[in-house]
Amino acid sequence: MSARLKDPLKAPVLSLVGNTPMASLRFNPEGVTLLAKCEFLNPSGSIKDRLAKTVLVDAVKRRLLRPDSIILECTSGNTGIALSMVGTAMGFSVTILMSEGASEERRRLIRRLGARLILFKSAGRYQTGIKASLEMAARDPRYFLTRQFDNPLNVADHEHGTGREILRQAKGSIDAFVAGYGTGGTLAGCGKAIKKQWPKARIIAMEPAEQALLAGECPCCHYIEGVADGFIPRLLQDAPLDGEQKVSSAEAMTMARRLHREFGLLVGTSSGANVAAALRVAQELGPKAKVATLLCDRAERYFSTPLFDDEKPRPRKRSVPRP
């Protein structure tokens, strides 16, 4: 631990995580209203700040982190940024393993926050990075693995944190909750909290149409960063799921751009995907249905990705010289 902070639990950034606002979005011409939880307003810009705070605070309280510990995680980006922010602010060293495919913006933020970044070639197989992180931890006892894919705190935190916040902010019954899954923590935790209070609520998984594993289809590449890493995560196994909605990468980007321009919400591709799926669920349930979803991260994280391809200047047509 650096000498910067005597008590890691007093890091000021910790008090900024969670308790995000809920926006009520009226969609015309669809004629439905969605409740959208603004997770992109967390301090590092994504829902993953919650996991980082909960796991690291727990580790400090249980004395699992020592002054020379190095926080280690394999991540598709947002968890890496969140752990880098919370971990370094608490005074610890952080090492992040990330697929070479992750956006340049994510890499820069991790480095800027003071963490060490190791890129691995995934060839679509996220498990490669997870295996590498386990091997590193086996070789060097200083590494502390946050284990986002197995850690029960991931689900518990969303059940008692995000899920309860949604229940409070929805002010009354909820008919459906729609979200994508990476580790499955958000969907399982929020799903459990909502089902407990409203057993008839439908908990729906958003899946990239190119990789609808819950729908029994084969993995293929998609552009919805942060979700669907090519396998069904363990944490999703006891999630109270009622079905899934497939959203293509193109649909996700179109909806994300609509959220930017029509609502002024600068969110990332997966937020577009969540909203596109939630909109379909709300249309199926009827105009009075109360459907909640999540806006997971910020648009600025995607400048170099296809989400912003529509901003690129188009090649000008050469004018043909008149004879």
Ligand X SMILES: Cc1ncc(COP(=O)(O)O)c(C=O)c1O
> Could you tell me how many residues of this chain bind ligand X (CB under 6 A)?
21
- Of the candidate spans 214-222, 237-245, 247-255, 291-299, the one that interacts with ligand X by CB under 6 A turns out to be 291-299
Nearer to ligand X, 90 or 294 (CB): 294
Is residue 154 within 8 Å of 135, Cβ to Cβ?
no
State how beta strands 243-247 and 291-295 pair: unpaired
User: Segment 47-86, which members bind ligand X (CB under 6 A)?
Assistant: 47-48, 78
Nearest to 230 by CA among 102, 132, 150, 124: 124
Nearer to ligand X, 245 or 274 (CB): 274
Active site residue 48: yes
Is residue 69 within 8 Å of 144, Cβ to Cβ?
yes
**Full DSSP string of 164-178:** HHHHHHHTS--SEEE
In whole angstroms, how close is the CB of 318 to ligand X at the nearest point? 41
**Does the footprint of ligand X cover residue 296 (CB under 6 A)?**
yes
- Of the candidate spans 7-15, 22-30, 268-276, 308-316, the one that interacts with ligand X by CB under 6 A turns out to be 268-276
In whole angstroms, how close is the CB of 233 to ligand X at the nearest point? 7
**Does the footprint of ligand X cover residue 270 (CB under 6 A)?**
yes
**Does the footprint of ligand X cover residue 18 (CB under 6 A)?**
no
Nearer to ligand X, 54 or 270 (CB): 270
Radius of gyration (C-alpha) of the chain in whole angstroms: 20
In whole angstroms, how close is the CB of 225 to ligand X at the nearest point? 6
Kindly name the residue from 48, 53, 192, 195 that is annotated as catalytic. 48
State which of residues 80, 185, 208, 272 lies at the interface with ligand X (CB under 6 A).
185
Rounded alpha-carbon distances, angstroms, from residue 128 to 55, 72, 206, 220: 23, 15, 24, 17
State which of residues 84, 99, 162, 186 lies at the interface with ligand X (CB under 6 A).
186
In whole angstroms, how close is the CB of 206 to ligand X at the nearest point? 7
**Does the footprint of ligand X cover residue 34 (CB under 6 A)?**
no
User: Segment 125-184, which members bind ligand X (CB under 6 A)?
Assistant: 179-184
Nearest to 224 by CA among 297, 139, 119: 297
Kindly name the residue from 84, 103, 122, 270 that is annotated as catalytic. 270
Contacts of 42 (CB under 8 A, 6+ apart): 16, 17, 18, 20, 48, 49, 50, 82
Active site residue 171: no
Q: What character string, x for contact with ligand X (CB under 6 A) and - otherwise, covers 84-123? A: ----------------------------------------
**Does the footprint of ligand X cover residue 211 (CB under 6 A)?**
no
Distance CA 97, CA 80 (A): 8
- Of the candidate spans 17-25, 82-90, 275-283, 292-300, the one that interacts with ligand X by CB under 6 A turns out to be 292-300
Locate 292 and state its tokens. 């909640």
In 3-state terms the chain splits into helix, strand, coil percentages (rounded to 5) of: 45, 20, 40
β partners of residue 118: 97
User: Segment 220-249, which members bind ligand X (CB under 6 A)?
Assistant: 226-227
Which 8-state DSSP code applies to residue 46?
A: B
Q: What is the spatial order of strands in the sheet that 22-27 belongs to?
A: 22-27, 32-38, 291-295, 176-180, 202-208, 243-247
Distance CA 224, CA 276 (A): 12
Residues catalogued as catalytic:
48, 270
| Site residues (vs ligand X, CB under 6 A) | 46-48, 78, 179-187, 226-227, 268, 270, 274, 294, 296-297
